[in-house]
Amino acid sequence: MTGNRFSVFLRRLADGLSVKKILLILLGAAVCTFGIHNIHQRVGITEGGVIGMMLLAENWLGVSPAVITPVLDLTCYLLAFKYLGGGFIKISVISTLSVSAFYKVWECFPYLLPDLTDYPLLAAVCGGIFVGIGVGLIVRQGGSSGGDDALALTISKVTRWRLSRSYLFTDLVVLGLSLSYIPVGRIFFSMVTVTLSSFLIDRVQTAGKNASAVVQ
């Protein structure tokens, strides 16, 4: 009896998943984290979304990132569960673990791209391309790479905005608040990268789909 229940559990767990979907999630995680590790973190381009909110909480309230990050992510996933369902959460577990794993992989190597610190605009554009394509591939499979994606997808579902608008809304709000402790020059380049990545995520997520199915 226990064996039958376990078999049913495994079938439900695998429902909606395929080898192709998992491979595309892995590819998206690899592309996204490659850009963040080799460009964003190296050049010092700040982020919007959950990462930006984490930095805000640290600077405004003195709350440790180790404490606030899981709280913010959990809050976003609870909202996503309410509006997007359990299937989204299941796929997001796989994609989130994939993102974490690839961060560890890239950290094992020296930087694999030229140092763009002296060319912040080029860094912002290149970083936005990596993040946009990588996260777009993950979102296209029905998952998210973290709380940022879950929040944007929830906003898109509730407001019926395009996904790009939802990403841009959350990023620009956080970046605007970040002006309280980050110089305007640095925020400008962050706005470039989040604007480009938001656009690409939306285009990758909807590419080839019936235009009538795209949320306006």
- Per the CB < 8 A criterion, the answer to whether 120 and 189 are in contact is yes
Answer whether 147's CB lies under 8 Å from 49's CB.
yes
Tell me: the pLDDT tens digits for 177-189? 888 877 887 788 9
Report the distance separating Cα 189 and Cα 209, nearest Å. 32
Note the pTM of the prediction, 2 decimals.
0.80
Asked if pLDDT for residue 102 goes beyond 70, the answer is: yes
Give percent of the chain with pLDDT exceeding 90: 27
Measuring CA to CA, how many Å separate 64 from each of 46, 58, 120?
17, 6, 28
Where are the domains positioned within the chain? 17-203
Look at residue 2 in the predicted model and tell me its pLDDT.
54
